C-alpha cells in the first residue's frame, strides 16, 4: 500500500524531503503556514523532477500524490513518517512537536531536520517522545544520500531500525550518530570550515572565489569519494595511519588555523584512530586504496569534463592545448583517433562497454568532418552532418587502459552523403572493431538534409577519390 | 624543445610531481638520497601511468626521460623548473635551497611543496631568492589540478607569471595566494577539519568510518564541484548570500565546533562576503546555480555509480530494490527498457550522444538474456552472449530528461545465435531509433562460441516462435 509522509515546514529543506518522498512513490501531506509555500515547493519539485529520475538506470516508482493541508493535525493523519523542517528556534520546534505528537499515528516516525539541536532537547516536555528523533539531511535533499539519524535514550531500538529502513528505501544513507552532540557530525566540520573561511576573508587573505577554487580543484574531489581518514591513510603511505598522525601531529601546535583549542595527541588517541582506520579499510592495501582512489577520481573528473564545469573545464582547456593536428590527407586512410580507453567506459567486468565502440567511431567521424572543413565554425554557421545509421562489428574485447587508434576511410562523399568506414586497432596492430557509418549533411536550422558548402564538398570529394584507390577495407 | 624539471626529494609528493612532468612530455632529473627512492618513485609512476592518460580524450605528449642524479647540482643543471619536496623542517629546506640557488639556471622557477611555511621563511638567507616560491600541490599530484602558488615580495611578477604558465601547461590550476599565511589556504581548512575530527574520535562521538561517511555521502559531493561559498549562496535561496549569513550568523556563538575563536560578524564583513560572492557567481541566478549544481551532482553520482563505489554503491543498491520485473512473454515484443535519458549521456548541445543508442540497445539485450534465463547466475556459471554486430538507425534527436522505452523482438533464436531487433520510443510513441543486433553464445572460459544451456535455448526458441507471428518490425 502507498505510504504517506507529512512535511511540516516547506522551504528548501522541507521541499527537498517532500520531493524525495513523492518521487519515491509516497503520498505527501504538506503543512506550511507561509503563503509563499506552494510556490517555493513547486520550484524545488521542478528541480527534483529534472534531477532524481536521471540518477537511475531504471524508472522510479510512480510519483505519489501531494496534498496541501491547513493544519498540522490534518497533515499527520494516517502517515508513516512526519518530517519537521521549521526554523531553528527551540521554542517553535517544541510547539510544533507537541501538536504533532498529540495527533500522529502511534507508529509514525517523527524526524527533525535540525542542524544543531540534540534529540533530547527536542523531546523536552513531550508526553510521548519515543518516536521523535533527529533526521538531518543535506541540501539538495532529493539528490544527496546522507541523513544523520540521531536518537536519544528515549527512542526504542525498534524506532531507530524502522527509521533506517524507511530512509534506505528512499535511496538515502542513514548515518546513526551514536552519541548526542550539538550540530551532530557533518555540521561540526562545516562550521569549523565556515569559521576558518570567515577569518580568511576578514583578514584579506582570500576571496570567496579563491576559497571555493581551493576546495573544488583539490580536496573537494578527494572527499566526494573517500572522506578525511581513508584519504590520509593513503597519504601515510606504506607506513600506515599511525605514521601519518605522528608525522603531522606537531602541526596541531602550529598556527595553521585560527581554531586553536586542540586535543592532546596521546599514544592512546593515536592507537584508537589507527585501529578504527584498520577496521574501516579492511584488507585493502595502500596500493589497493591508491588504485581505488585514482579510478574514482578519474571517473569524477571525467564526469565534470563531460559537463565542462569545475575541474572538468580545466581538463578540457588543457586538452585543447595538447590536441593533435588534424590528420594529413595522403594515400592512406585518415588516422582519426589516438587515445587510451578510460575507466568510465568499462563495465564492472573491466571490458569496454559495446556502446563505446560507437563513441570512438562517432569521435572519428568528427575528425573526418573537421578534416574536410566541417569544423566548429562551420557548425556555428548552422551546417553539420548527422549520422543516420551505423553498423558495428565487434571483433575482440577491449580493456580500460588500452591504447587504441582508428583509421577512417571515406567510402562515399557526394552531395549530401558521407559514408565512412572506421577500423579500431590496439596499438599493437590487433583489429578490435569496425564500423560503417552513413552521415547526411543537414541544416541545423531546419533539421533537414541540405547540400554542404562548396569548399567542404570539394574537399570531401577529394578525400573520397584518394581513398577509392585504396583496397576496399570492408573485405578485411 | 623538451624542457627539463628537477625533482628534489622523491616520496609521495615528489613522485607525484615527477609523474606530472614526465607524462606531460618533460624530461625529469631526480635527486633523492633515500636508497628506497627509486622503488618508491616507480610505484607512484606506475599509478600515474595507469591514471593520467585515461583522464583525456586525446593522447598525452610522448613521455619524457627520467634521470637519477647523485647530487643536487647535477639535478638542477639545464632545468626550467625545480621542485623541492623534502621533509617539513625549515633548517633542512634552507640547506637544500642554498644548494639549489648556487647552481640553478638563472631563469629556472624554484617551487617548494611545503604545506605550511611561508615563502619569505623559505627565502631567508638566500643570496638570490627571486625565483623561490611556494608551489603547494595536492595528493595525488598527477591527478588533482590544484597548486597553491604563494609568492613573497621578493618574487618579481615575471617569475609568478612564468610559474603560472608552466603549471597551466601541465594541466594544473595555479591558485595565486596573494598574501602569505601559515598553511596557505586549503590546508587551513584541512587542519580545522582534522582538529575537529580528532575531538570527535577522542570524545567517542564517531569513528573514522562514520566521519568519512558523513563527508563522502554529503558535503564532499557538493565540494567536488562548487566550494563552500557558492554552495551556501544557493542555500540562501532567493534572498541571497547576505540573508544566508545573517540567518546562520548566530551559530558562530554556539558550541557547534570545539574551535571557538571566531571573527565578529560585523555588517562590514557581511557586505564584503556578499559582494565577493556576487562577483564570483556573476549573472547566474539562484535557479541557474541550482540547475548547475544538480547536473554536476548527477554526473558525479553516476560516475561513482559506474565504479560501484562510495555514494554510487548506495545508488546501485537502491536501484536493485526498485528494478522492475522481467518483461512478460506474451504475443507482443518484449518491453525491455523504461528509463530517463541522463545528463551524462548528452553532448554539449544537449542531444543524446549517438553511442548511447547503442548503450540502450545493449541494456535491452541484457534484459532479453535475463528473460530467457541467461541471467547473473548463468554468467557466473561461465556462459554468456557476446554481441558480434549491431546496425543502428537514428531517426530523431533525443534529449536529456526524456522518458523512453524499448521494445525488443527476437528475430532469430537457434543454436548459438540470437538475433534481436530493438525499437526505442519516446513515451509519447515517437520512434527515435532502431537496432538490429546479432549475439553469439560463448563460453567465458574459452572466449569461444558454444551451445547455450538446454533450458535457455528452449526458452529462447519459444520467444522466437511467438515473435515470428508478429509483423516483421524491420518494415516500419
Looking at A141, A176, A211, which one is the last position of a domain? Answer: A176
Tell me the CATH number at B445: 3.10.129.10
Lay out the sheet containing A66-69: strands in order across.
A66-69, A27-31, A4-8, A81-84, A109-112, A132-137, A146-150, A173-176
The DSSP symbol for B343 reads G
Pick from A174, A461, A388, A343: nearest CA to B395 = A388
Residue A476 — pLDDT band, cuts 50, 70, 90?
low
Contact across the interface for A354 and B358, Cβ inside 8 Å = yes
A149 and A191 assigned to the same domain = no
User: Which of A192, A324, A343 is most worth mutating to test chain B (most B CB atoms within 10 A of its CB)?
Assistant: A192
Closest residue of chain B to A57, computed from CA coordinates:
B339
Per DSSP, what are the bridge partners of residue A412? A419
B145 and B286 assigned to the same domain = no
CA dihedral angle for residue B324, residue B330, residue B333, residue B339, rounded to 10 degrees: -10
- By Cβ distance, the residue of B209, B258, B392 closest to A280 is B209
Query: How far apart are the C-alpha atoms of B218 and A276, rounded to whole Å?
Result: 21
Lay out the sheet containing B403-414: strands in order across.
A334-340, A403-414, A417-426, A431-443, A383-394, B383-394, B431-443, B417-426, B403-414, B334-340
- By Cβ distance, the residue of B185, B323, B342 closest to A210 is B185
B205 and B161 assigned to the same domain = no
Contact across the interface for B175 and A293, Cβ inside 8 Å = no
- Pairing status of strand B81-84 against strand B109-112: parallel
Contact across the interface for A355 and B354, Cβ inside 8 Å = no
B15: closest CA of chain A, how far (Å)? 12
Residue A247 belongs to domain spanning: 186-292
- By Cβ distance, the residue of B51, B56, B235 closest to A12 is B235
Tell me which of A16 and A274 has the higher pLDDT: A16
Residue B87: C-alpha distances to residues A218, A241, B84, B91, B187 (Å)? 21, 18, 9, 10, 16
The 10s digit of each residue's pLDDT in B102-111 is 999 999 999 9
pLDDT of residue B262: 61
Q: Tell me if B436 is assigned to some domain.
A: yes
Q: What is the ipTM of this complex?
A: 0.91
- By Cβ distance, the residue of B55, B259, B318 closest to A315 is B55
Tell me which of A177 and A272 has the higher pLDDT: A177
- With contacts defined as CB-CB under 8 Å, which chain A residues touch B46? none
Q: Tell me if A309 is assigned to some domain.
A: no
Q: Tell me if B366 is assigned to some domain.
A: yes
- By Cβ distance, the residue of B213, B248, B276 closest to A207 is B276
A283 and A371 assigned to the same domain = no
Q: Tell me if B148 is assigned to some domain.
A: yes
Closest residue of chain A to B301, computed from CA coordinates:
A55
pLDDT of residue B217: 95
A220 and A356 assigned to the same domain = no
B461 and B412 assigned to the same domain = yes
- With contacts defined as CB-CB under 8 Å, which chain B residues touch A195? 192, 252, 257, 259, 262-263
- The pLDDT of residue A56 is above 90: yes
Residue A221 — pLDDT band, cuts 50, 70, 90?
very high
A77: closest CA of chain B, how far (Å)? 27
- With contacts defined as CB-CB under 8 Å, which chain B residues touch A314? 145, 171, 173
- With contacts defined as CB-CB under 8 Å, which chain A residues touch B57? 319, 339, 363
Tell me the CATH number at A73: 3.40.50.720
Contact across the interface for A220 and B225, Cβ inside 8 Å = yes
- With contacts defined as CB-CB under 8 Å, which chain B residues touch A344? 303, 306-307
- With contacts defined as CB-CB under 8 Å, which chain B residues touch A277? 208
- With contacts defined as CB-CB under 8 Å, which chain B residues touch A426? none
Q: CB of A408 within 8 A of CB of A366?
A: no
Query: How far apart are the C-alpha atoms of A454 and A462, rounded to whole Å?
Result: 12
Q: CB of B98 within 8 A of CB of B113?
A: no
Looking at B268, B292, B316, which one is the last position of a domain? Answer: B292
pLDDT of residue A232: 83
Contact across the interface for B205 and A342, Cβ inside 8 Å = no
B13 and B107 assigned to the same domain = yes
- With contacts defined as CB-CB under 8 Å, which chain A residues touch B315? 55-56, 145, 171
B103: closest CA of chain A, how far (Å)? 31
User: Which of B89, B134, B149, B191 is most worth mutating to test chain A (most A CB atoms within 10 A of its CB)?
Assistant: B191
Percent over 90 (pLDDT), chain A: 79
- With contacts defined as CB-CB under 8 Å, which chain B residues touch A386? 394
pLDDT of residue A196: 86
Residue B47 — pLDDT band, cuts 50, 70, 90?
very high
Contact across the interface for A315 and B386, Cβ inside 8 Å = no
Closest residue of chain A to B16, computed from CA coordinates:
A235
- By Cβ distance, the residue of B183, B204, B303 closest to A179 is B204
- Mean pLDDT, to the nearest integer, of A259-280? 74
Contact across the interface for A299 and B322, Cβ inside 8 Å = no
B190 and B150 assigned to the same domain = no
B40: closest CA of chain A, how far (Å)? 10
A125 and A236 assigned to the same domain = no
Contact across the interface for B302 and A55, Cβ inside 8 Å = yes
- The pLDDT of residue A262 is above 70: no
Residue B57: all three cell numbers together = 580524450
- With contacts defined as CB-CB under 8 Å, which chain B residues touch A362? 353-355
- Residue B421 CB-density burial (10 A; 0-12 exposed, 13-18 middle, 19+ buried): buried
Q: CB of B49 within 8 A of CB of B60?
A: no
- Mean pLDDT, to the nearest integer, of A188-206? 88
Pick from A24, A138, A10: nearest CA to A83 = A10
Closest residue of chain B to A391, computed from CA coordinates:
B391
Q: If DSSP codes are grouped into helix, strand and coil, which group holds residue B143?
A: coil
- Mean pLDDT, to the nearest integer, of A316-337? 94
- The pLDDT of residue A70 is above 70: yes
- By Cβ distance, the residue of B115, B258, B355 closest to A261 is B258
Closest residue of chain A to B352, computed from CA coordinates:
A359
- By Cβ distance, the residue of B198, B272, B353 closest to A269 is B198
Looking at B153, B176, B199, which one is the last position of a domain? Answer: B176
Contact across the interface for A189 and B191, Cβ inside 8 Å = no
- For chains A and B, what is the number of CB pairs under 8 angstroms? 548
A220 and A121 assigned to the same domain = no
- With contacts defined as CB-CB under 8 Å, which chain B residues touch A173? 213, 217, 311, 314
Q: What is the Cα A227 distance to its own chain's centre? A: 15
- The pLDDT of residue B268 is above 70: yes
The 10s digit of each residue's pLDDT in A425-440 is 999 999 999 999 999 9
- With contacts defined as CB-CB under 8 Å, which chain A residues touch B89? none
Q: Tell me if B311 is assigned to some domain.
A: no
The 10s digit of each residue's pLDDT in B206-261 is 999 999 999 999 999 999 999 888 888 887 766 777 777 777 666 666 655 555 56
Q: CB of B133 within 8 A of CB of B163?
A: yes
A203 and A232 assigned to the same domain = yes
- Which residues touch A475 (CB under 8 Å, ≥6 apart)? none
- The pLDDT of residue A258 is above 60: no
| Other Cβ atoms closer than 10 A to B139 | 22
Residue B261: all three cell numbers together = 575563536
Contact across the interface for B216 and A223, Cβ inside 8 Å = yes
- The pLDDT of residue B405 is above 60: yes
- Pairing status of strand A431-443 against strand A417-426: antiparallel
User: Which of A230, A306, A350, A400 is most worth mutating to test chain B (most B CB atoms within 10 A of its CB)?
Assistant: A306
User: Which of A302, A355, A437 is most worth mutating to test chain B (most B CB atoms within 10 A of its CB)?
Assistant: A355
pLDDT of residue B280: 79
Q: Tell me if A406 is assigned to some domain.
A: yes
Buried b (16+ CB within 10 A) or exposed e, B388-402: bbbbbbbbeebebbb
Q: Tell me if B439 is assigned to some domain.
A: yes
- With contacts defined as CB-CB under 8 Å, which chain A residues touch B287? 43
- By Cβ distance, the residue of A209, A386, A401 closest to B276 is A209
- By Cβ distance, the residue of A54, A215, A306 closest to B401 is A54
Domain count along chain B: 3
Query: How far apart are the C-alpha atoms of A130 and A183, rounded to whole Å?
Result: 21
Helix (H) or strand (E) holding B136: strand B132-137
Contact across the interface for B276 and A201, Cβ inside 8 Å = yes
Query: How far apart are the C-alpha atoms of B226 and B219, rounded to whole Å?
Result: 10
pLDDT of residue B246: 73
Percent over 70 (pLDDT), chain A: 95
- Which residues touch B371 (CB under 8 Å, ≥6 apart)? B326, B327, B329, B334, B336, B459, B463
pLDDT of residue A77: 97
Q: Does the global pTM surpass 0.80?
A: yes
Contact across the interface for B310 and A224, Cβ inside 8 Å = yes
Query: How far apart are the C-alpha atoms of A183 and A189, rounded to whole Å?
Result: 9
pLDDT of residue B279: 80
Contact across the interface for A339 and B57, Cβ inside 8 Å = yes
- With contacts defined as CB-CB under 8 Å, which chain A residues touch B392? 358, 389-392
Q: Tell me if B200 is assigned to some domain.
A: yes
pLDDT of residue B212: 93
A282 and A153 assigned to the same domain = no
Amino acid at each position: 500500500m502507498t505510504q504517506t509522509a507529512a512535511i511540516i515546514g516547506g522551504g528548501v529543506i522541507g521541499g527537498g524531503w517532500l520531493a524525495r518522498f513523492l518521487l519515491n512513490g509516497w503520498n505527501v501531506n504538506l503543512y506550511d503556514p507561509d503563503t509563499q509555500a506552494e510556490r517555493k515547493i513547486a520550484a524545488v519539485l521542478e528541480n527534483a523532477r529534472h534531477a532524481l529520475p536521471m540518477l537511475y538506470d531504471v524508472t522510479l516508482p510512480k510519483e505519489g500524490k501531494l496534498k496541501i493541508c491547513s493544519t498540522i493535525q490534518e497533515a499527520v493523519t494516517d502517515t508513516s513518517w512526519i518530517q519537521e523542517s521549521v526554523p531553528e528556534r527551540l521554542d517553535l520546534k517544541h510547539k510544533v512537536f507537541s501538536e504533532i505528537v498529540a495527533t500522529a499515528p502511534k507508529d509514525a516516525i517523527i524526524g527533525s531536520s535540525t542542524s544543531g539541536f540534540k534529540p533530547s532537547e527536542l523531546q523536552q516536555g513531550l508526553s510521548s517522545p519515543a518516536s521523535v528523533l533527529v533526521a538531518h539531511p543535506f541540501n539538495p535533499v532529493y539528490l544527496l544520500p546522507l541523513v544523520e539519524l540521531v536518537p536519544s535514550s528515549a527512542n526504542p531500538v525498534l524506532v531507530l531500525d524502522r527509521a533506517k529502513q524507511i530512509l534506505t528505501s528512499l535511496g538515502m544513507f542513514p548515518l546513526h550518530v551514536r552519541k548526542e552532540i550539538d550540530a551532530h557530525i557533518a555540521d561540526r566540520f562545516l562550521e569549523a570550515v565556515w569559521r576558518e573561511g570567515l577569518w580568511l576573508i576578514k583578514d584579506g587573505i582570500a576571496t570567496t572565489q579563491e576559497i571555493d577554487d581551493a576546495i573544488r580543484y583539490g580536496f573537494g574531489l578527494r572527499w566526494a569519494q573517500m572522506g578525511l581518514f581513508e584519504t590520509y591513510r593513503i597519504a601515510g603511505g606504506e607506513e600506515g595511519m599511525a605514521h601519518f598522525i605522528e608525522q603531522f601531529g606537531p602541526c596541531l601546535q602550529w598556527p595553521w588555523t585560527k581554531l586553536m583549542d586542540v586535543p592532546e595527541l596521546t599514544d592512546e588517541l593515536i592507537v584508537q584512530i589507527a585501529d578504527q582506520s584498520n577496521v574501516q579499510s579492511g584488507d585493502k592495501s595502500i596500493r589497493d586504496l591508491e588504485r581505488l582512489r585514482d579510478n574514482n577520481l578519474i571517473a569524477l573528473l571525467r564526469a565534470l569534463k563531460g559537463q565542462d564545469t569545475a575541474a572538468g573545464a580545466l581538463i578540457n582547456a588543457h586538452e585543447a592545448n595538447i590536441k593533435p593536428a588534424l590528420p594529413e590527407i595522403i594515400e592512406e586512410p585518415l588516422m582519426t583517433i589516438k587515445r587510451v580507453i578510460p575507466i568510465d567506459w568499462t563495465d564492472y567486468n573491466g571490458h569496454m562497454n559495446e556502446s563505446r565502440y560507437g563513441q570512438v567511431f562517432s569521435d572519428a567521424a568528427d575528425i573526418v568532418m573537421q578534416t574536410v572543413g566541417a569544423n566548429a565554425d562551420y557548425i556555428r554557421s548552422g551546417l553539420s552532418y548527422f549520422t543516420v545509421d551505423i553498423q558495428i562489428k565487434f571483433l575482440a574485447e577491449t580493456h580500460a587502459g588500452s591504447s587504441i587508434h582508428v583509421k577512417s576511410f571515406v567510402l562515399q562523399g557526394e552531395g549530401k552523403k558521407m559514408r565512412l568506414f572506421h577500423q579500431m586497432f590496439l596499438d599493437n596492430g590487433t583489429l578490435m572493431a569496425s564500423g560503417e557509418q552513413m552521415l547526411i549533411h543537414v541544416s541545423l536550422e531546419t533539421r533537414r538534409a541540405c547540400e554542404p558548402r562548396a569548399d567542404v564538398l570539394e574537399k570531401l570529394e577529394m578525400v573520397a577519390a584518394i581513398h577509392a584507390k585504396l583496397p576496399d577495407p570492408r573485405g578485411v
